[in-house]
Amino acid sequence: MEYIIRIKKKKRNILNDKWVWKMAWRDARKNFSRLFLFISSIIIGIAALVAINSFNDNLQSDINSQAKELLGADFVVNTNKGFDSTVIAMFDTIQVPQATDARMASMVLFLSDAGGTRLVQIIAVDGDFPFYGEVETVPEDAFSKVKDGFYTVLDENIATQYEVSSGDSIRVGTLAFPVAGIVKAIPGTGSLSSTFAPSVYIPMKYLRETGLVQYGSRVNYKRYFKTETTAQADEIIKQIRPTLRKYGYGYDDVAERKEELGQSFENLYRFFNLLGFVALILGCIGVASSVHIYVQEKKESVAVLRCMGASGWQSFNIFFVQAVIIGLIGSMLGAFLGVVVQYFAPLLLSDLIPLDITLAISWSAILEGVLLGLVISILFSFLPLTNVRTIPPLTVLRTGFEKIKRFSKVRLSIILLTLIFPLTFAIYQTESAFNGSTFFLTLIAAFLLLTAVAKGLIYLVKRFFPHSWGFVWRQSLANLFRPNNQTTVLVVVIGLGAFLVSTLSLVQNSLLNQVEFVGSGTRSNTVLFDIQPHQKDGIVALTNDNNLEVQQLVPIVTMRIQSIKGKTVREIQQDTTDNVSNWAITREYRVTYRDSLIDSETLLKGEIMPEVINPDDSIFVSISESMLDNLEVDIGDEVIFDVQGVQIKTYIGSYRDIDWQRIQTNFIFVFPNGVLEQAPQFFVLMTKTDDKQQASKYQRELVAAYPNVSVIDLSLILSTLDDFMSKIAFVIQFMALFSIGTGLVVLAGAVINSKYLRLKENVLLRTIGALKNQIVKMTLIEYGYLGLFAGLTGIILSLAAGWGLSVFFFNIIFFPDLITLGIIWGGVAALTMIVGWVNTRGIISRSPLEVLRKEV
Amino acid sequence: MPEILEVQNLVKKFKSAKNELTVIDDISFAVEEKSSVAIVGPSGSGKTTLLGLCAGLDLPSEGTISLVGIKLNALDEDDRAYVRNHNVGFVFQNFQLLATLTALENVMIPLELRGEKGIAAKAKELLGRVGLGDRITHYPSQLSGGEQQRVAIARAFISSPKILFADEPTGNLDEETANTVTDLLFDINKEEGTTLVMVTHNMALAENTNRIIQLKGGKLVADQKLAKAL
């Protein structure tokens, strides 16, 4: 007989197939703890992202809203050579409120009970600066007293340190100013900047009388302008720009200040964005690995459903619905946690940022976080879940029967999407196609290498299996390659986690080392500058009297460029065809003369001319390589300098690489001996003090006898720097904790999930007489192997990634901290073993029958 | 009686990296509606593979299978699933209940998949018939082996299948429980008028059917019709 072959299927999509939703709930209610693993990696990943992005959003909006307060005016003109009288005349014609200040580093002597000397920033003020924002002082009128009378005010931190209060006096140069009060806050400076360069404010009209401004003194002058509108500021700038350019003066307006501030936080942004990216990728790995292992266990159940008549997509949808709902809940919890964490950010960062950080909820960051969490849940659960569709119903009859189609159009599309997502996100988060692609490719390379290592490990263990080893060692080693092994998944997940965490640690370490320098050994730790020629011998004698060695006494001559290759500065400025930097041809150069290189310099090309013997000889100077492009010069080119009205014709004789990070007196131009000896000059002296008492006595005597000479005490800077670094380190570590936390959750999730696959065979071993001790040992050894191999591979890969990130992304020197890497390696292996052991305890503490009967 | 299952020149080969194994070798037979057939043979003779092929759980390498008049070879996996849902019931040796579902929920699945409503009453009635009316909210882990197999029998019959495939239904049970389950299986089968195809090692159980097909080395070596009617 013939039956008509016709299938009348009602096609139901996921939304109207109630059975799918019912089954999803039924399955989930018995698997809450498992699904929590899935959710936890999303929660932490999204929390990190929301916290970081909210903070970035708030910081950006604070910069926008507070930029005027930070500048204190609508625009400001600055120079380090004093305003020319014609320029001042031009300023006077501009009918808007103006104010002036002059800033320079100098020693001050505290005439308080505590006494002492300190290098500070002297700020001489004149006019109503700041035009925006308030200067907070105690008492309230202290700052206005400085503007009107013969008073000083100083930053709170040095006032506290040197026990200075109203009524005491401070000697600045040759004048002793009564203290009018303490500055608690001033627009544009954070407490950190006052830690580094604490300020003492004096009236401008007394600056000259202090005697601090001498030949070679580095003074920065600023002229502040307050306009009615931004358009008015732009108009004035447009008018005065040619004159400013002619004299080489710089200017700053609110827009530029915003940009500068944005740039100064760029590394912080970049690091935080990197953290966000890492946290998210770890979340992705967590989702994919949790779902992968979950699906492995669900094979039999799915096969039963397939026998009963469930379609491939219906089976798939049961778990997909779970992933989406759990992902959404996890994302929302993550976003909530992120907002909570964000509220701690100002507590952490208030010292580092010269802004009042707003505590606003960034809805865009929250929405972005929730959407990203949802997308990750969908995308990264989709691929492992596609296997559900092709689980053959025959599995119910033949355990282990697998006929999973590895490549289908759906799988291929999902693979493509899962690749495109991290790439797109990386580009979005780093705001750079190159950087984002590099991040992404590094991750893919790490993924492929880890897979290769896992496969290689399985092959090698099989190939060279140690048959003579004892049962426990053989059994645990064999677990690495036996059917249903999780070696590849665990090596990839653990390895990728270790890779990301140690890369982060390497970058963090390099960032922290960036500002660290060495003031140890026989290197100088005290630098005296602004020494006038007539003071030189006296200061050398005073140094020797204090039993200190004069390690370097460097002459410095200030000069400007008159012409390059026959073209005057004016001609170069007018010539639009060249690319010579205006600042480079108008700036004042501090130049020294000597016959050889010092240890922070490396000769790259040409020869160092030691001395000019005959006055008619050509003078060959050495230039820093970094200035070649700015001045468009090369070996043999003529450069004429103006040294206090005297023109000196020179030729570029060589160029050098200079390590500017070294605490040395480094110079762009170095003249040979025999040229500048008679020019107006001042000296820098370097010495090394052995202890605080000696340094303190030496500095007191210096300031008393030579008030214009300033002392840089490197030990003081180092201790300040240490304080600064510990604050920064805390912030970085706090934020990195999120990414590391996600990594740990993913690791624990991978190990805990793999337990379910090992459960039955461990119970069987127990049933046939394996001792608890043997099961524990086997578990520890198996997970130990996995942790060690995966951790080591991840860490080796992270060295390459850390180097690349440090050098090319952050533009800093790469400082691998091998001890920390060792700790991470040990930590990963130990954690893998501990999690494995904790899981096994659940099996060995119960009777085999109990476990066999308990559904898993 | 019309034929509900028709197998012609059936061959099933499994390929491995090195060789090819023929598990079912040119088997042909047909099963009449409302009859009962036992497939017997030593381990490795291909019994379970043949059952799986007949039920549309897998496709043959060669030959054709018609189940309820539908040629399974021409169908994809989802179409075969649809055919199973509307025509086939299963009872397995290791029960194959879903661990995360209660007894009642396990029984309801086949009808839920069809999208039918008001099925809880029918499921409860069936569970009552198998003697588990008071255990409907229990999970599989809370039931004994015999109880689990009774839930599986209730699940197999809830969709009123035209044909029931049973793979060693008493293989995991003690003798007393096995007898209870066997009685239950044959009783309900008789009441419902379902065709039964059963794989078993147990000749006593096989003799309860009205036909025994014997396999050896993947070949059909004997096809014996018994006088005993269900």
Tokens at A709, concatenated: 């000479």
Q: How confident is the model at residue B136 (pLDDT cuts 50, 70, 90)?
A: very high
- Tell me: the pLDDT tens digits for B44-96? 899 988 998 999 888 899 999 999 989 998 888 888 888 888 899 998 888 88
Cβ contact, residue pair A1, B92, below 8 Å = no
B48 contacts in chain A (CB < 8 Å) = 397-398
- Tell me: the pLDDT tens digits for A509-564? 776 665 444 344 556 678 887 788 888 899 999 999 988 888 888 898 888 899 99
Mean per-residue pLDDT over chain A, rounded: 80
Percent of residues, chain B, with pLDDT higher than 90: 42
Contact (Cβ atoms closer than 8 angstroms) between residue A99 and residue A73: yes
Ranked by mean pLDDT, which of A689-693, B101-105, B178-182 comes out on top?
A: B101-105
Question: Which of B70, B84, B86 is facing A307, going by the closest CB pair?
Answer: B84
Tokens at A513, concatenated: 């080392």
Cβ contact, residue pair A3, B81, below 8 Å = no
Mean per-residue pLDDT over chain B, rounded: 88
C-alpha–C-alpha distance, residues A24 and A324, integer Å: 11
C-alpha–C-alpha distance, residues A357 and A375, integer Å: 31
C-alpha–C-alpha distance, residues B115 and A374, integer Å: 29
B100 contacts in chain A (CB < 8 Å) = 26-27, 29-31, 301, 855
Q: What is the mean pLDDT of residues A812-838?
A: 84
Q: Looking at the predicted structure, is the pLDDT value of residue B229 above 60?
A: no
Question: Which of A5, A310, A397 is facing B81, going by the closest CB pair?
Answer: A310
**Inter-chain contacts counted by CB atoms under 8 A, chains A and B:** 114
- Tell me: the pLDDT tens digits for A476-516? 888 788 766 677 777 877 787 788 778 877 877 776 665 44
pLDDT of residue A349: 65
pLDDT of residue A593: 93
Residue of A nearest to B157 (CA): A308
Write down all domains in chain B, each with its CATH number in brackets. 3-225 (3.40.50.300)
Q: Looking at the predicted structure, is the pLDDT value of residue A193 above 60?
A: no
Tokens at B216, concatenated: 């050896």
Question: Which of A310, A390, A854 is facing B113, going by the closest CB pair?
Answer: A310
C-alpha–C-alpha distance, residues B37 and B163, integer Å: 11
Q: What are the start-end ranges of the H helices in A633-771?
A: 692-705, 714-767
Q: Looking at the predicted structure, is the pLDDT value of residue A739 above 70?
A: no
Q: Tell me how close the Cα of A382 comes to any Cα of chain B, in angstroms.
A: 19
Cβ contact, residue pair A396, B113, below 8 Å = no
Q: How confident is the model at residue A663 (pLDDT cuts 50, 70, 90)?
A: low
User: Counting Cβ atoms within 10 Å, is residue A8 exposed (0-12), middle (13-18) or buried (19+)?
Assistant: exposed
CA distances in angstroms from A180 to A24, A139, A410, B149, listed in the order given: 74, 8, 76, 94
Question: Which of B52, B85, B141 is facing A309, going by the closest CB pair?
Answer: B85
Ranked by mean pLDDT, which of A71-75, A419-423, A798-802, B162-166 comes out on top?
A: B162-166
C-alpha–C-alpha distance, residues A760 and A737, integer Å: 36
Three-class secondary structure of residue A722 per DSSP? helix
C-alpha–C-alpha distance, residues A291 and A38, integer Å: 7
Q: Looking at the predicted structure, is the pLDDT value of residue A348 above 70?
A: no
Ranked by mean pLDDT, which of A196-205, A408-417, A614-623, A759-768 comes out on top?
A: A614-623
Among the listed residues A613, A615, A618, the one whose alpha carbon sits nearest the alpha carbon of residue A653: A618
pLDDT of residue A251: 85
pLDDT of residue A392: 83
A408 contacts in chain B (CB < 8 Å) = none
- Residue whose token pair is 């929250």: A366
pLDDT of residue A717: 61
Ranked by mean pLDDT, which of A282-291, A648-657, A754-763 comes out on top?
A: A648-657
Cβ contact, residue pair A397, B167, below 8 Å = yes
> Can you give the three-state secondary structure of A436-451, one letter per residue?
HHHHHHHHHHHHHHHH
Cβ contact, residue pair B85, A394, below 8 Å = no
Which of B98, B105, B153, B159 is the mutation pick for testing A, counting most A CBs within 10 A? B98
CA distances in angstroms from A807 to A96, A288, A813, listed in the order given: 47, 32, 6
Q: Looking at the predicted structure, is the pLDDT value of residue A306 above 80?
A: yes
A12 contacts in chain B (CB < 8 Å) = 115
Which of A307, A388, A398, A405 is the mutation pick for testing B, counting most B CBs within 10 A? A307
C-alpha–C-alpha distance, residues A824 and A671, integer Å: 51
Q: Tell me how close the Cα of B80 comes to any Cα of chain A, in angstroms.
A: 8
C-alpha–C-alpha distance, residues B181 and A363, integer Å: 62
> Angle, to 10 degrees, between the axis of helix A32-71 and the axis of helix A312-342?
40
Q: How confident is the model at residue A849 (pLDDT cuts 50, 70, 90)?
A: low
Cβ contact, residue pair B77, A392, below 8 Å = yes
Cβ contact, residue pair B109, A29, below 8 Å = no
- Tell me: the pLDDT tens digits for A426-466? 888 777 888 888 878 887 888 888 888 888 888 888 888 88
Radius of gyration (C-alpha) of chain B in whole angstroms: 17
Q: Which residue has the higher pLDDT, B199 or A665?
A: B199
Q: Which residue has the higher pLDDT, A808 or B68?
A: B68
Strand order in the sheet with B219-225: B88-91, B163-167, B195-199, B36-40, B211-216, B219-225
Contact (Cβ atoms closer than 8 angstroms) between residue B52 and residue A394: yes
Q: How confident is the model at residue A230 (pLDDT cuts 50, 70, 90)?
A: confident
DSSP letter for A807, please.
I
Q: Looking at the predicted structure, is the pLDDT value of residue A711 above 70?
A: yes
pLDDT of residue A184: 82
DSSP letter for A11, please.
P
ipTM of the assembly?
0.78
- Residue whose token pair is 């006296």: A538
Q: How confident is the model at residue B41 (pLDDT cuts 50, 70, 90)?
A: very high
Where b means 16+ CB within 10 Å and e means fewer, A524-561 reads bbbbbbbbbeebbeebbebbeebebeebebbbbbbbbb
Which range (A196-205, A517-526, A760-769, B70-79) has the least confidence? A517-526
pLDDT of residue A198: 80
How big is the CA angle at A29 (ends A27 and A35), to the nearest 5 degrees? 80
C-alpha–C-alpha distance, residues A599 and A726, integer Å: 30
Q: How confident is the model at residue B165 (pLDDT cuts 50, 70, 90)?
A: very high
Percent of residues, chain A, with pLDDT higher than 90: 10
Q: Looking at the predicted structure, is the pLDDT value of residue A344 above 90?
A: no
Residue B39, strand partner residues: B199, B213
Q: What is the mean pLDDT of residues A809-822?
A: 81
Radius of gyration (C-alpha) of chain A in whole angstroms: 35
